[in-house]
Structure 1
């Protein structure tokens, strides 16, 4: 079979390891750089494509391949939805997922105005509305920090989530075709704290994950129409709170992940269609409107 990788970095550890497994079984693995896509009709589509890149060019390439009948994992529509944090929060909360309340604004200056008027409580996590490399992800504990963000990111559409100090660590959950992987990572937004995670040290695998959180991770895939994805949860004993969903994350250093990805690629190729359905299109909140009312739950 021919397996296409939509990425500008085919040497990424996960892709390289999965590709080596597929090649060793006699399959052909080809990388397509979305910045330099092949001309339409130059060659028949591969049996399946793995959409690792999430740039506009990569999404356009994936859509064109889907229109030609090629299966793409994850589908372009599902991947694009995860790039819009407003749409992500709206879909998650409509589906009953415990996603952090998310407020949308057309700029950090709009958040500053709301906070100065007493309509928005601090501290906050402020993120670019549209997820991309080197986007805005910052913690604002006071008005001075919001003013600085307004100066540094003028005109940047943003979302805001409430910040609630926790252990200072995030639970990073990854799923590949229903197979769960996880670890803890120090939150970039946390106060200075211990260099080692709580709850028994560095080891943290699927067997350490409460069943409720494992079920939640699998439910996220169903809601978003994803087969390869990541879920970020606050680390702590309270009710789980989802703060982010990522389509096709790196999943570095997780034993068994390359094998799971290679097996998924072959199953999707044999089926001749994307394994998950694309999520239903749901209208997101208007610019400046909250996805929820005033944030009232924890965010990273």
Structure 2
């Protein structure tokens, strides 16, 4: 089979290991960065209008990558994850709306056209602090911060005044995120420090990853169904003994879990 990985990081450990497994089994593997080089990336992979690969793994999430993925899909190519699912996960406002409609547990989320609209006196009710402030459109170096009061919110607005944002209720937590990565229904787990906020006093080492309750793995698998994803990550926090989803990423940078490259290779080879 011919497999193409759409990415700007061909040396990423997961992608490199997956490519090695596929190539070792006799499959043809190519890499393409949709944002590299001049001109239309379509001309570099599909001069005959069909494309050289039977399946495309969409790791890149840039506008050029999404446009290319949509074009490939229009010509009948299999793209994992789909362009529509990938684009949905980049819009935290839409993500929250879809999750709410599907009764997937997420913090209460409000979407604003600009962060400056969140300031006291901007015609909106006062917020319950602390709150999480995130760029509406997920991307590298986007805004993810905790505001503990009006002064902190003003500081963020001064730096990001026109940034479209979502405001989420803060979920009190231990300082550790449970990361669940899913590849074609197979769940891999890890813990990482939360991206904002201090770790609990005296905490130095991550808690051991053990078998999670079925509610946690069930929530992660349900997220894939809701958002139409085959390769994705779900960040969960414990809220009153139950899991709450604080982030969903299409095709994240999975690092560490044994078996992940083999699972991704098997997904690439799976017939629709």
* TM bin (shorter chain): over 0.9
- The question of 1:96 aligning with 2:99 is answered no
Alignment check: 8 A CA contact 2:215 2:242 kept: no
- The question of 1:195 aligning with 2:204 is answered yes
Residues 210-249 of structure 1 aligned to structure 2 (within 5 Å): 210-235=213-238, 238-249=241-252
Partner secondary structure for residue 30 of structure 2: strand
Partner secondary structure for residue 127 of structure 2: coil
Alignment check: 8 A CA contact 1:83 1:132 kept: yes
Greater RCO between the two (CA within 8 Å, min separation 6)? Answer: 1
- Mapped to 1, the partners of 2:218 and 2:5 lie a distance apart of 29
Match of residue 297 from structure 1: none
Partner secondary structure for residue 174 of structure 1: strand
Match of residue 10 from structure 1: 10
- Show structure 1 runs of 5+ residues with no match: 272-300
Partner secondary structure for residue 23 of structure 1: helix
Partner secondary structure for residue 255 of structure 2: coil
Partner secondary structure for residue 113 of structure 1: coil
- Show structure 2 runs of 5+ residues with no match: none
Residues 103-252 of structure 1 aligned to structure 2 (within 5 Å): 103-113=110-120, 118-193=125-200, 194-197=203-206, 201=207, 203-205=208-210, 208-235=211-238, 238-252=241-255
* Residue 114 of structure 1: how far off its partner (Å): 6.2
Match of residue 47 from structure 2: 42
- Mapped to 2, the partners of 1:209 and 1:191 lie a distance apart of 24
* Residue 41 of structure 1: how far off its partner (Å): 3.9
Partner secondary structure for residue 243 of structure 2: coil
- Mapped to 2, the partners of 1:117 and 1:225 lie a distance apart of 34
Per-residue CA deviations over 1:234-293 (Å, capped at 9, x if unaligned) read 1465221111110001110010000000000000xx33xxxxxxxxxxxxxxxxxxxxxx
- Mapped to 2, the partners of 1:38 and 1:30 lie a distance apart of 14
Match of residue 259 from structure 1: 262
Match of residue 25 from structure 2: 25
- Mapped to 1, the partners of 2:253 and 2:239 lie a distance apart of 24
* Residue 196 of structure 1: how far off its partner (Å): 1.8
**Taking structure 1 as reference, are residues 114 and 81 closer, same or farther at Cα in structure 2, changes over 3 Å only?**
farther
- Mapped to 1, the partners of 2:61 and 2:167 lie a distance apart of 22
TM-score (norm 2): 0.92
**Taking structure 1 as reference, are residues 117 and 87 closer, same or farther at Cα in structure 2, changes over 3 Å only?**
closer
Larger strand proportion of the pair: 2
Alignment check: 8 A CA contact 2:172 2:239 kept: no
Partner secondary structure for residue 220 of structure 1: helix
Per-residue CA deviations over 1:45-82 (Å, capped at 9, x if unaligned) read 21100000111111011111111110000000000000
Alignment check: 8 A CA contact 1:169 1:190 kept: no
- Mapped to 2, the partners of 1:237 and 1:101 lie a distance apart of 15
